[in-house]
C-alpha cells in the first residue's frame, strides 16, 4: 500500500443541529406506524438503530466508524433478519446500512477531494466494482442477491478508504484497535450461551455448532480467526498486567469459541496464520503448537469426528464431495461469458437449476470466476496482492513497533483469507469483509501517519 497525501478536512457538518433535529423528528414519526401496527417492534428497533447510525455518519464520521466497527457483528444479528417491505420486494436493514456507507462515503470522498487512486489496492477494486455492476444489473440470474453482494463489497472498500483517510494520529489507530477487540464481546457472550444451552446451529448431525451473532458458524469462525491473529500478538507485546489479563481472557474465549464452531477450514487456516506469525516474529509459538494440538484432541475428541465427516469423498459422500461436484458442474458456465462473467448472484441460481438444490459455492475463486469472469477474478486477486505487498513493505520499513505489528498481522490475515477462499464463502460475507478491510485500513492509515511525520522533519 502506498502512503498518499490525502487532502481531507475532518470537520463535522455545519448543519449538525439541523441534522439531529431532522433525525429526531423521523424517529418520532415512526411511532405512528408502530402504534397502528403497520410495522413491528423489531422493525421499529432496527429503524431507530439505522437513524442513530445515520446521525453518527453525518455529524462525526470518525466516531461513526469506531461505533460501526465495535458493533458490526452485533448489527448483523439485529438488522439482517429485519426487512422493510417496498412494493413486491423487501430490503434488509443491514443492506440499507451498507448503502448509507457507500453513498455517504462517496459524497465525503468527492467533497474532500480524497485522492483515492494513490492508495494502491483501490485501483483493482474499482475495476472490479465498475466491471461487475452493469453485468450484474443486466445479466444476473438473481439481480437482487447480486446487487446486495456488490453493495457489500463496495461499502467495505469505501470503509477502507475512509479509515486510511481520516485516522491520522496514533490515538486514532489505538481507538480503532480497541473497537476491533471490543467487537468480539457480544458474539462471545451469545456464542457461549448457544454452547451451554445447545441452541447453536444443529444442521450438521451430531454437532451443536455455535454461530453467535453471525448467520453461519463458518462466518463466525473466520471472524474469530482474524481477531485472534490480531489479539495474540497484542497479548504477547503487552507491557501492562491489566492489559495482558484482559487480552488473555479474550484470546482464550475466542479460541474456545473457534473450536466449537466446528468449522474445519478456518481451523486449518488459523494454523497457517499462526505459522506466519511464528516464523517471522514469535518462534516460541512453533513449540506450543504441537502441544496444543495434542491437548485439544485429547479433551475435545469431537474435533476428529468433524474431520471424519469429510472423509467419505471416495464413496460419494460428505461435504467435500458435494462441493467438488458443484465446482465441476458450474465451472463450464464460466466459458459462456469468460471476460466479465454472468453477473453476481448467478452462481447459486445455476446450482439450483442444475443440481436441484440451493448450495453456496464454498470457493470464492470459482464463484468469482463464474459470476465476474477473468476481469473480476484478476482485479480481486490484484487487490489482495497489493495488500500483501504493501503490508510486507510496511513491516520491513516501519520503525514504530505497533505499526510494524499491524503489518505483520495483516500478512497473516491475508494468507488465511487466500486459503479460506478455497473452501469458504468469504466474498459474500458482509461482516467478514468489513473486518478484513478495517484491518487493511489500519495498515494504510499507519503508513500514512509515518509518511506525514517524516515530511515534517527538518531536512
Distance CA 149, CA 3 (A): 29
Domain hosting 270: range is 16-311+350-456
265-274 exposure pattern, b = at least 16 Cβ within 10 A, e = fewer: bbbebbbebb
Q: Pairing mode, if any, of strands 83-86 and 89-92?
A: antiparallel
**What pLDDT was estimated at residue 428?**
73
CB 212, CB 194: distance < 8 Å: yes
Q: In this structure, are residues 136 and 342 in contact, taking their beta carbons and an 8 Å threshold?
A: no
Question: Would you call 383 exposed, middle or buried from its count of C-beta atoms within 10 A (0-12, 13-18, 19+)?
Answer: buried
Helix (H, G, I), strand (E, B) or coil at 120: coil
What gap in Å lies between CA 154 and CA 97, rounded to an integer?
12
C-alpha cell at 457: 522533519
Can you give the pLDDT at residue 258? 93
Angle at the Cα of 431 (from 428 to 437), degrees rounded to 5? 90
pLDDT of residue 358: 59
- Separation CA 138–CA 147 (nearest Å): 11
Please give the Cα distance from 144 to 212 (Å, whole number).
Answer: 26
Residues (pLDDT < 70) of the chain are: 1-23, 42-43, 46, 49-50, 53, 56, 58, 78-93, 120, 297-298, 307, 309-318, 355-359, 457-459
pLDDT attached to residue 388:
92
Q: Is residue 1 in a domain? A: no
Q: DSSP letters along 370-386, please?
A: HHHHHHHHHHHHHHHHH
**For the chain, first and last CA: distance in Å?**
25
Q: CA-CA distances (angstroms) from residue 285 to 94, 123, 291, 292, 319?
A: 38, 37, 10, 10, 32
What is the 3-state composition of the chain as percent helix, strand, coil, each rounded to the nearest 5? 75, 0, 25
Is residue 5 assigned to a domain? Answer: no
Residue 52: alpha-carbon gap to chain centroid: 22
**pTM of the model as a whole:** 0.86
Q: Can you tell me the distance from the alpha carbon of 92 to that of 85, in angstroms, rounded to the nearest whole number? A: 9
Strand partners, 209: 201
Q: Is residue 205 part of a domain?
A: yes
Structure confidence at residue 10 (pLDDT): 42
Structural domains of the chain, count: 1
Domain-embedded: residue 336 = no
Residue 235: the pLDDT is: 93
What is the number of helices (H) and of strands (E) in the chain? 19, 2
Residue 357 CB coordination number (10 Å)? 9
Distance CA 52, CA 404 (A): 35
For residue 82, the model assigns a pLDDT of 60
How confident is the model at residue 195, as a pLDDT?
94
pLDDT of residue 3: 41
Rounded Cα distance between 348 and 104, Å, is 31
- Grid cell for residue 51: 437513524
pLDDT digits (tens, 9 = 90+) for 222-248: 999 999 999 999 999 998 999 999 999
Instruction: Give the span between the Cα atoms of 155 and 64, in whole angstroms.
Output: 14
44 in a domain, yes or no? Answer: yes
Cα–Cα distance list, 36 to 30, 31, 32, 367, 453 (Å): 10, 9, 6, 44, 58
Cell of 267: 481451523
Q: Which three cell numbers stand for residue 328?
A: 465441476
331 is a domain residue: no
Contacts of 123 (CB under 8 A, 6+ apart): 117
CA separation for the pair 352, 417 (Å, rounded): 27
Q: Is residue 328 a part of any domain in this protein? A: no
Grid cell locating 139: 445479466
In a domain, 7, yes or no: no
The predicted-structure confidence for 358-406, as pLDDT tens digits, reads as follows: 567 788 898 899 999 999 999 999 999 999 998 999 899 888 899 999 9
Query: Radius of gyration of the chain from Cα atoms?
Result: 22
Amino acid at each position: 500500500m502506498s502512503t498518499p497525501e490525502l487532502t481531507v478536512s475532518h470537520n463535522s457538518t455545519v448543519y449538525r443541529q439541523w441534522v439531529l433535529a431532522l433525525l429526531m423528528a423521523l424517529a418520532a414519526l415512526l411511532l405512528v406506524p408502530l402504534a397502528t401496527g403497520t410495522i413491528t417492534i423489531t422493525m421499529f428497533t432496527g429503524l431507530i438503530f439505522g437513524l442513530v447510525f445515520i446521525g453518527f455518519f453525518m455529524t462525526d464520521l470518525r466516531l461513526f466508524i469506531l461505533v460501526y466497527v465495535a458493533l458490526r457483528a452485533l448489527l448483523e444479528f439485529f438488522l439482517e433478519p429485519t426487512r422493510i417491505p417496498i412494493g413486491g420486494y423487501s430490503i434488509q436493514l443491514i443492506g440499507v446500512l451498507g448503502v448509507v456507507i457507500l453513498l455517504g462515503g462517496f459524497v465525503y470522498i468527492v467533497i474532500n477531494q480524497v485522492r483515492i487512486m494513490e492508495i494502491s489496492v483501490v485501483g483493482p477494486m474499482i475495476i472490479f466494482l465498475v466491471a461487475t455492476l452493469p453485468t450484474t444489473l443486466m445479466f444476473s440470474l438473481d439481480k437482487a442477491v447480486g446487487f446486495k453482494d456488490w453493495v457489500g463489497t463496495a461499502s467495505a472498500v469505501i470503509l477502507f478508504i475512509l479509515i486510511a483517510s481520516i485516522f491520522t494520529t496514533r490515538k486514532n489507530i489505538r481507538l480503532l484497535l480497541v473497537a476491533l477487540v471490543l467487537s468480539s464481546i457480544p458474539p462471545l457472550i451469545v456464542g457461549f450461551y448457544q454452547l451451554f444451552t445447545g441452541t447453536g446451529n444443529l444442521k450438521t448431525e451430531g454437532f451443536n455448532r455455535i454461530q453467535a451473532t453471525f448467520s453461519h458458524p463458518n462466518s463466525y469462525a473466520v471472524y474469530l480467526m482474524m481477531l485472534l491473529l490480531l489479539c495474540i500478538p497484542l497479548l504477547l507485546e503487552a507491557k501492562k498486567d491489566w492489559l495482558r489479563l484482559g487480552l488473555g481472557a479474550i484470546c482464550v474465549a475466542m479460541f474456545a469459541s473457534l473450536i466449537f464452531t466446528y468449522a474445519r477450514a478456518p481451523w486449518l487456516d488459523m494454523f497457517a496464520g499462526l505459522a506466519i506469525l511464528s516464523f517471522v516474529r514469535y518462534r516460541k509459538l512453533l513449540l506450543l503448537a504441537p502441544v496444543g494440538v495434542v491437548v485439544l484432541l485429547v479433551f475435545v475428541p469431537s474435533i476428529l469426528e468433524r474431520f471424519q465427516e469429510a472423509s467419505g469423498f471416495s464413496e460419494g459422500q460428505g461435504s467435500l464431495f458435494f462441493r467438488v461436484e458443484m465446482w465441476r458442474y458450474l465451472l463450464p458456465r464460466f466459458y459462456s461469458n469468460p471476460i466479465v462473467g454472468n453477473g453476481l448472484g448467478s452462481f447459486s441460481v445455476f446450482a439450483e437449476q442444475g443440481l436441484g438444490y440451493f448450495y453456496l459455492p464454498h470457493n470464492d475463486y470459482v464463484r468469482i470466476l463464474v459470476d465476474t469472469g477473468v476481469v473480476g477474478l484478476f482485479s480481486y486477486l490484484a487487490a489482495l496482492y497489493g495488500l500483501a505487498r504493501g503490508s510486507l513493505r510496511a513491516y520491513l520499513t516501519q520503525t514504530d513497533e505497533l505499526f510494524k505489528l499491524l503489518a505483520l498481522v495483516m500478512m497473516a490475515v491475508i494468507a488465511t483469507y487466500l486459503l479460506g477462499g478455497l473452501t469458504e464463502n468469504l466474498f459474500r460475507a458482509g461482516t467478514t469483509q468489513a473486518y478484513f478491510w478495517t484491518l487493511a485500513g489500519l495498515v494504510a492509515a499507519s503508513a500514512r501517519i509515518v509518511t506525514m511525520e517524516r515530511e515534517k522533519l527538518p531536512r
